[in-house]
Chains A and B, each alone.
Chain A
Amino acid sequence: MTEARRLSLILAVALLALAAIFAGPYVLDTYSVNVLTRSLLYAAVALTVDLLWGFLGILTFGQSVFFACGAYAAGLVFTHLDFSTGNAVLALALGVGGALLVAAIVGWLAFWHGASALYASVITLVLPIVATQLLYSGGTFTGSSSGLSGFMSFDLSMEAWFWLAGGFLVLVTTAAYIFVKSDAGKLLVAVRENEQRCKYLGLDTSRLKILVYLACAAIGAIAGYIYAGYAMVVAPELAGFVFGTELVIWTALGGRGTLLGPVFGALIVDYESAQLAGDYPFVWQLIIGVLFVLVIVAFPRGLLPVLFDLPRRLVGLLRPRRAAPAASVRLSTLDAAETQGVEPGEGPALSVAGVAKRFGSLTVLEAIDFEARAGELVSLVGPNGAGKTTLMRCIADGAERSAGSIAVNGYDIGRKPPEACVALGVGRKFQMANVFETLTVAQCLQIARVRHARPSLWRRAEVLPLPEAAMHVIATTGLDKQLSTPAHLLSHGMKQALELAMVLALEPRVLLLDEPTAGLTKTERMQIGAILIELTKKQGLCVLLVEHDLDFVREISSRVIVLHQGHIVLDGSVEEVVASELVKQVYAGSGHAGIDHETAPAPKEMPA
């Protein structure tokens, strides 16, 4: 399906939904129209819960507060300043502005570098509790526990309010749907799947989370504003924890990560609540509670996917499953002139001076000094616990080291976070293959290119330009035939190759490779070795390699640094290191051959 057809299909469905909204008041009774107007607005807030929780992985209990922000802005302005067109605009601006301000504070608290998912949820839990208490203590200004009522509002008919609420819901749902299916939307899933990898791909994940959170706050505030205009009453419960959790319940019931599930979940449950709450209030709550627990335990994806899967499975029984869809993305090689990465600064590609790392009284690295030029392939060797991986971490994350300084391309990395180190030209491949498990190969590569090519907020790119080095890895390992395979289905070696290609797509100047051949077959190892040699020789990369396979080290390195107990014991050419008596002692513990593989193979060691 072409991009234009995909988008027009979405718009056609949106138009159908608008038509259904338009027909609503003509086919429904007055009572239903009245109740559904509220449900439509609640559904818009449930949609924001889904964006945050289902896509970005942030379980939020506090979206009710942004709804209340918009509602109270309208209530307060219309009560204390009277209703006029000017004041209506002012109230909307205050509502959205207030929600954005609150969201910015919450975002700063909850999404800082290193905050856990649980902590973010805790903050969103505290938010509605604080907000409700503040509304309670507002005296006559906020109307305290009884809220505000009896204020003037827009003079619209009940049908018009229904159309307004429905139109708003269709608008935000369509926009959200187009966004999450776009290239930029895949970023949300990537952050949920593997935030660490995102950071080491140069993405500022905290900023991304805050931006999405701000957008969701604004949507909630507008929904609240419409609600206050139509209901002409606002109460502290709108900001409450109970409403906040109800939104989560609707989202979970409908199906997190589906957008439409939460929308229908909110519409159906809220509408039915209004119908049944009069006659069986407690039984109804009980049913919802039981259903909620059941869905969380047994159908974590929610009810909408279950409903959709049923017919699909029935059809699947009759018809053989279709082959995997052809790749929707074509790869292309970037012109070498465009893939220079960061401009090299003065001096060597990598310079490490006096670096130390301590955990309390334990010293892991001490007085590490070395420099590496572009085009060098430096291997870090040493027994387990020598500090090799720790040194890699210190180069890729400015906050890691305890002392000393590190410069990449002549720029001091200071205390910068990983994403800023990537911007200076560092590319880090982890020891264990670290990719986005649920995304396809092509999507993983796309995420790695986000730093260079801003992804579209509404379209999917049909061509993915990659630098030559990444293309080379992909072509050599045969990844180009598996572009639409989800990463978790790849073999271990393919995952390693994919991660290497992702890191190379960053156009790094300094490439940090932590045991890139661990667990690979001999053939795969030879392939990777050949690629590395070419990268250093032809592309002028500076490669720092941690490796236990000393044959491999000998074949490809231009220089070897031997670490032992946190110190550099030798820094020299391959020949010097192989000949060194000291190194043999360090590596084997006693005198006999450790480095020299040919006489006695060194034991295969586990990753440090």
Chain B
Amino acid sequence: MIAQTLDIVTTAAILYAVATGLLLVFGVMKIINFAHGGLMTLGGYAALVTTQAGLNPWLAIPIAALFGGVTGMAIERFVVRPLYSRPLDAILATWGLSIIIGQLITLAFGRGVQFTQSPLSGTIDILGEGYSAYRLALVGIAALLGLALTALLQGTRLGLETRAVIMNEDLARGLGINSGLVRFLTFTLGSALAGIAGALITPLSSVDPAMGVPWLVNAFMLVLVSGASLVSLLFACLVLGGAQVLVATHFSPVLGGLTIAVLAAIILRLRPQGFARD
């Protein structure tokens, strides 16, 4: 019972960390960044390189953010910007970028599955139940990410401008907000978050050139049911991630893997705005 509750909380935290970057980009730019999976892979390999170089595994997180962010800048400038008016095409072009990133990584590192060193090993005793210390640490990291993003959006001028662009881009531009710059920074930040997410999940699984793809679809569905709100994303991660854990433990892991996608599709059919309040 305790183990299962912890599973649900930690799964939700991981999903939250993976989906925030995608949510940010979707909220501001109204496009789905299918390169998110590729950028996560990039973050994973950044973590691999970091630990292989003998650096502190925690350093993998900022390094992955740097890799993701810089790649994101290039993607925004050369691929996403020409496609603002064609959102469905932006999905396709970013998917193409995902393929490119995957193939470049394959050329550089080979197809094989590799493992990174976890920054935290061992278990922590919680109410008599030994639980992976790293998974628990992820809850804290995800919470930190969420709080930092909320602070950025609610407490800074950039955040105010970003929220203005989310609500009404034309009006925001009319008021002199440089929405192009807001989009550029958002995409960079979203890509950096994808890199961080990639670095965070590598100690849990392994690193391979296609590691981002399975996460992409789940993150995508979570974002669609949450609209553009970090709070409803948290809610969606808890509900759908929880359902995934329950189905996987009580029925079958295969069905568990489908839970988020199928549930999200049904939720959107019944309530097109998903978990968003409006």
Chain A interface (Cβ < 8 Å from any Cβ of B): 59, 109, 112, 114-119, 121-123, 125-126, 129-130, 133, 136-137, 241, 245, 248-249, 252, 282-283, 285-286, 288-290, 292-293, 296-298, 300
> At the interface, is chain B mostly helix, strand, loop or mixed?
helix
The one of A117, A136, A289 that contacts B96, using a Cβ cutoff of 8 Å: A289
Within the assembled complex, what's the spacing in Å between the Cα atoms of A279 and B108? 17
Chain B interface (Cβ < 8 Å from any Cβ of A): 32, 78-79, 82-83, 86-89, 91-93, 95-97, 99-100, 103-104, 106-107, 213, 217, 220-221, 224, 252, 254-255, 257-258, 261-262, 265, 268-269, 272
The one of A59, A129, A252 that contacts B261, using a Cβ cutoff of 8 Å: A129
The chain A residue sitting closest to B214, CB to CB, is A129
What are 25 sample pairs from A and B whose C-beta atoms fall under 8 A apart? Answer: A109-B265, A112-B269, A114-B272, A118-B224, A119-B268, A121-B88, A122-B220, A122-B221, A123-B265, A126-B217, A126-B262, A129-B217, A130-B262, A133-B254, A133-B255, A136-B254, A137-B255, A252-B92, A289-B96, A289-B99, A289-B100, A296-B89, A296-B92, A296-B93, A297-B83
Contacts of B88 in A (CB 8 A): 59, 117-118, 121
Contacts of B220 in A (CB 8 A): 122, 125
Within the assembled complex, what's the spacing in Å between the Cα atoms of A463 and B220? 49
On whether the beta carbons of B254 and A282 are closer than 8 Å, the reply is: no
> A137-B254, A296-B93 given as contacts; is B103 within 8 A of A125 (CB)?
no
Contacts of A126 in B (CB 8 A): 217, 221, 261-262, 265
Within the assembled complex, what's the spacing in Å between the Cα atoms of A285 and B103? 7
On whether the beta carbons of A285 and B258 are closer than 8 Å, the reply is: no
CB distance from B86 to the nearest CB of A (A): 7
> At the interface, is chain A mostly helix, strand, loop or mixed?
helix
Contacts of A292 in B (CB 8 A): 92-93, 96, 99
On whether the beta carbons of B104 and A286 are closer than 8 Å, the reply is: yes
Within the assembled complex, what's the spacing in Å between the Cα atoms of A115 and B272? 8
The one of B93, B100, B107, B272 that contacts A119, using a Cβ cutoff of 8 Å: B272
Contacts of A118 in B (CB 8 A): 32, 87-88, 224
Extra inter-chain contacts (7) besides given A121-B88, A282-B106, CB under 8 Å: A116-B272, A119-B269, A125-B217, A126-B217, A126-B261, A136-B254, A282-B103
The chain B residue sitting closest to A290, CB to CB, is B100
Within the assembled complex, what's the spacing in Å between the Cα atoms of A298 and B81? 12
Within the assembled complex, what's the spacing in Å between the Cα atoms of A529 and B97? 56
Contacts of A282 in B (CB 8 A): 103, 106-107
Contacts of A300 in B (CB 8 A): 86, 89
Within the assembled complex, what's the spacing in Å between the Cα atoms of A286 and B92? 15
The chain B residue sitting closest to A252, CB to CB, is B92
Within the assembled complex, what's the spacing in Å between the Cα atoms of A112 and B268? 12
Please indicate which of the listed interface residues B79, B86, B88 has the most CB atoms of chain A within 10 Å of its own CB. B88
Within the assembled complex, what's the spacing in Å between the Cα atoms of A121 and B258? 17
A-B complex: 8 closest residue pairs judged by Cβ atoms: A289-B99, A293-B96, A286-B103, A292-B96, A289-B100, A137-B254, A296-B93, A126-B261
